[in-house]
Amino acid sequence: MAGVVAAGDKLTAQAGADILDRGGNAVDAAVGASFVSFIAEIGVVHLGGSGIAQIYDPAKQEGKVYDFFSNMPGLGYGVIDHTKLDFAKTTIDFGATTQDFYLGRGSVAVPGNIFGLCQMHQEYGQLSLQAVLQPALKLASAAIPLDQFQASTCKLLYPLYTHTESMRQIFEKDGKFIEADDPLFIPHLAETLKLIIEEGANSLRHGRLAKALVADQKTNGGLLTRRDLAEYEVTTHKPTRIKYRGYDILLPKPSSSGGVLTAFTLKLLGYFNLPRFRYGSSDHLQLLLEAMAATGRARLHWDMVRKHVPLEEATRRFLQDEFVADFATVIMNALMRGRPSRIMVERSGPNNTSHLSVIDGAGMTVGLTTTAGESAGYVLENTGFIPNNMLGEEDLHPAGFHEMPPGERIFTMMTPVVVLKDGQTKLVVGSGGSIRIRSAILQVISNVIDFGMPLQEGIDAPRVHLENRILQCELGINSASIDDLESLGYAVNRWDKRSMYFGGTHSVGRDDAGELTAAGDNRRNGAVAYSMVNNSR
């Protein structure tokens, strides 16, 4: 086997494997698959979103993070007149709860996907951009049947996907909302992909797509300006590296708060001999719960220090052993006394996110996570380009909507992670799902490393997540263990099903024999595909 891909749809995964078969490397495959995801996974991601990626090159023994998350727009805009913004509230009914989102041109942050993906390809790719985007161009040129999972997600977000006539042209047929197996076609998207092939990132920086987006924003009550696109930068950095049970864990730095907080939780678990816990026991669940609660309390410190200290220094202080040890002591006391520690309520963020993972024949590794929020509820005229609504996510803007300075990077929980053993990739994992990203990644890493589970078993294992002071317990968690937690005073909620709420950790890695392996998370339609062509360099 010469390469593996795991992603949020079979078309996405197969596109990546096909690119590997044609001689592309892991970056070619990840970039090409990501562009396919903007069609095949239209219920969760769009071209007009943004993302975080991590590349690990075993030949150089180094990782590199590409941060192309959204900036706050408005450079050169002047004073905001909120009465003139196209910024409309809509409510989504998730069944157990409802949540408000804001749509329209005033919800659109600077989109980073095209910038980031094109730069990754330019710096690491082996094939031409035309070859890499060919699978997406083929899908965009004709209608494809809408997948069942994507149809269900679109239906959940019905108010957003029918918000304007331009969206209804895609998601309604003869007045009926699109269903599974109905033909999906995004008018003009193929022309936009051809433009990207011709102009690369310049299409969105100074080219025709940029001009169309800026003109639409100016005319229809948005904040995004020509300067926002011209001055946007993809930032790159070496990942944060921590040790865990003899493995090296590589995590992105901010704007990924998720990377810093996941590193903190792993360092906490490092104080405990988890392999001695019986998997799924009340002791095991209590430790996971208390580690999540401790990270929630620590997040208050993180949110404060990052405002006043350079991010590199803030990260170093936050992950210092002395700081982490204080929180580990509180966990030990909670376990010994058999009663809960203090639990904070954490802000959530965008749920509509997708992740893909790739390893090629040379061992080059890519983890790539993208999001568009829920979308801004419209399509840019004559482009097929659906913008994000990252300014309409209340949890991303605790100081208030449109209060962040123009040009400033918005923080995200997206966290593509690479796990190494002796310089070789053991595991690539990331997830969608707001603050559940961290708990999903944490449990997959622990399942594989601490409990020795094969990758698919580690992903399929039922998960827990602490939110709003309640431990959410997915179907399959030991009922007696949950009873024990309740008797100790913990609030729990038993789920009667597996759910996308608990993330989508589409992952690749190596098993104990060193063979490549891949696993899709069926909570979010996970799929895998394999390349048999040896593309080692």
Q: What are phi and psi of 392, to 5 degrees?
A: -100, 10
CB 273: neighbour CB atoms within 10 A?
A: 10
What's the alpha-carbon Rg for the chain, to the nearest Å? 22
Give the tokens for residue 127. Answer: 């094939």
**Cα 120 from chain centroid?**
17
Q: Residue 353 catalytic? A: yes
Determine the Cα–Cα distance for residues 50 and 37; give it in Å rounded to an integer: 13
- Cα separation, 173 vs 158, in Å, equals 14
Reduced to 3 states, what is the DSSP secondary structure of residue 431? coil
Angle, vertex CA 528, rays to CA 237 and CA 188, nearest 5: 75
Cα-Cα-Cα-Cα dihedral sign, residues 379, 380, 385, 388: negative
Judge whether 24 and 535 are in contact, CB under 8 Å.
yes
Q: Is 262 helix (H, G, I), strand (E, B) or coil?
A: helix
* Separation CA 285–CA 277 (nearest Å): 10
Please identify which of the residues 262, 353, 370, 412 carries the catalytic annotation: 353
If you count them, how many residues does the chain have? 537
The one-character DSSP state at 433 is S
Q: Which residues are catalytic?
A: 353
